[in-house]
A and B are shown apart, each in its own frame.
Chain A
Amino acid sequence: MAMFDRVKNIDRRIIFLCIVLSVIVPLLLDITFTEKASPIVKNIFDKIESLPSGSRVLLSLDYGPSTVPEIQPMVNALVRHLNEKNHKVYFMCLWATGQNLTTITVDSVQAREFPEKVYGVDYVNLGYKAGNEGLINVLLTDMKKMYTTDVHGTYIDDLEIMRPVRNLTGFDLIVGLGGGTPGIKEWILFAGDPGRIPVAGGSTAVQAPLLYPYWPNQLLGLMGGIKGAAEYESELITYYPKYKLKSKPGIKMMGPQAVAHIVIMLFIIIGNITFFAQRAREGKAKGK
Chain B
Amino acid sequence: MQELWVWVGALLTLSILSFLYKDNVFYKFAEHLFVGVSAAYWMVIGIWGTLFPNLIAKIYPEAVRFVLPSLADREADLTFIFPALMGLLLLLRLSSRVGWISRWPLAFIVGTTAGLNLVRYLRSDFIGQVQNTMIPLLVFDGGRLDLLHTMSSIVLFGGVFTGLIYFFFSKEHRGVFGAASKVGIWVLMITFGAGFGYTVMARISLLVGRMQFLLGDWLGLINR
For B131, what are the chain A residues with a Cβ–Cβ distance below 8 Å? 217
Q: Give the residue of A227, A247, A257, A264 whose beta carbon is less than 8 angstroms from that of B224.
A: A247
Say yes or no: is B191 at the interface (Cβ < 8 Å to chain A): yes
CA distance A205 to B70 in the complex (A): 41
CA distance A67 to B54 in the complex (A): 29
CB pair B120 A190 closer than 8 Å: yes
CA distance A24 to B194 in the complex (A): 25
Say yes or no: is A13 at the interface (Cβ < 8 Å to chain B): yes
Number of A-B contacts (CB under 8 A): 153
For A208, what are the chain B residues with a Cβ–Cβ distance below 8 Å? 198
CB pair A70 B120 closer than 8 Å: no
CA distance A208 to B121 in the complex (A): 19
CA distance A200 to B19 in the complex (A): 37
For B136, what are the chain A residues with a Cβ–Cβ distance below 8 Å? none
Interface window among A43-51, A52-60, A128-136, A169-177: A128-136
Residues 103-146 (chain A) with a chain B CB within 8 angstroms = 127-130, 133-134, 137, 146
For A226, what are the chain B residues with a Cβ–Cβ distance below 8 Å? 201, 205, 208
For A260, what are the chain B residues with a Cβ–Cβ distance below 8 Å? 204, 207-208
Say yes or no: is A209 at the interface (Cβ < 8 Å to chain B): yes
Task: Report the minimum CB–CB distance from A202 to chain B (whole Å).
Answer: 13
By the criterion of a CB under 8 Å from any partner CB, how many residues of chain A are at the interface?
59
CB pair A13 B208 closer than 8 Å: no
For A129, what are the chain B residues with a Cβ–Cβ distance below 8 Å? 49-50, 54
CB pair B49 A133 closer than 8 Å: no
CB pair B222 A30 closer than 8 Å: yes
For A97, what are the chain B residues with a Cβ–Cβ distance below 8 Å? 41
CA distance A13 to B17 in the complex (A): 12
Interface window among A148-156, A270-278, A279-287: A148-156
Say yes or no: is A204 at the interface (Cβ < 8 Å to chain B): yes
Residue in A closest to B43 when the chains form the complex, CB atoms = A96
Task: Report the minimum CB–CB distance from A33 to chain B (whole Å).
Answer: 14
Say yes or no: is B28 at the interface (Cβ < 8 Å to chain A): no
CA distance A193 to B74 in the complex (A): 34
Task: Report the minimum CB–CB distance from B51 to chain A (whole Å).
Answer: 9
Say yes or no: is B202 at the interface (Cβ < 8 Å to chain A): yes
If A23-B207, A69-B205 are given as contacts, then 7 extra A-B residue pairs at C-beta distance below 8 Å, sorted by A number, are A20-B211, A67-B206, A153-B67, A189-B121, A193-B124, A253-B205, A256-B204
What 4 A-B pairs have minimum CB-CB distances, sorted nearest first?
Answer: A69-B209, A205-B202, A155-B70, A205-B201
